[in-house]
Structure formats: C-alpha cells, structure tokens
Amino acid sequence: MRLTAEEVAAIKRSAREVFGEAAVVRLFGSRLDDARRGGDIDLHVEVPVPAPTDASVRFRRLLDQMVGEREYDILVAVAGQLPSAVHHKALAEGVVL
C-alpha cells in the first residue's frame, strides 16, 4: 500500500468527521500496488445511512487539508444496498483502512 501511516490516519479521521464513526473506508486501485508509482487515491466509504449530498465535497476538502492536495476518487455507498460494478470492485479488492 502506497500510503504512509500518517496519511491513513488522516483519511480515517476525515471520514469519521464527515460521515460519522460507523464509516468504513477502503483504499482500492493503483495505490494498493507497491510496484507502481503516482496515481490518484481511490477511496470507497461505506456508511450505514445515506450521506448528505455535500458530504463527498466536505470529505475532499478535509482530505486536502489533512493529507494534502492530491487527486482523489471518492465513492460513497450505503451498507447493504446492491453495489454498482465499480462499488463491487472496490468492496472486493479494497483494503479497509
């Protein structure tokens, strides 16, 4: 995984602040491959109830402040709902932070 312990902690803190304590954050995509370089940070956030419409924007802003300005792809899903193909991939391949 190509994130530092500090980055992981900041991502988790940011998710909990925006989405609540029950939020589960998964890293998926190219950042899981230690052999690769660069790339955006793909995050899947699973929440128990639907998030407010501005939650992803607030999460991204908080990530910019706490982790640094980078490219983030953020997927938000409600636990128990049928996932789309990209959500299914994130759930299947992602690593819980």
What is the tens place of the pLDDT at every residue in 37-85? 767 889 999 999 988 889 999 999 999 998 877 888 898 999 878 777 7
- pTM of the full structure: 0.85
Number of domains the chain contains: 1
Q: Residue 78's domain spans which residues?
A: 5-96
Q: Using CA atoms, how far apart are residues 59 and 88, in angstroms rounded to an integer?
A: 21
Distances (CA, A) of 18 to 71, 84, 90, 93: 19, 23, 20, 24
At 67, list the tokens: 């982790």
The Cα-based distances of 38 to 25, 29, 90 in angstroms read 20, 12, 19
CATH number of the domain that 40 lies in? 3.30.460.10
27, 95 Cβ separation under 8 angstroms: yes
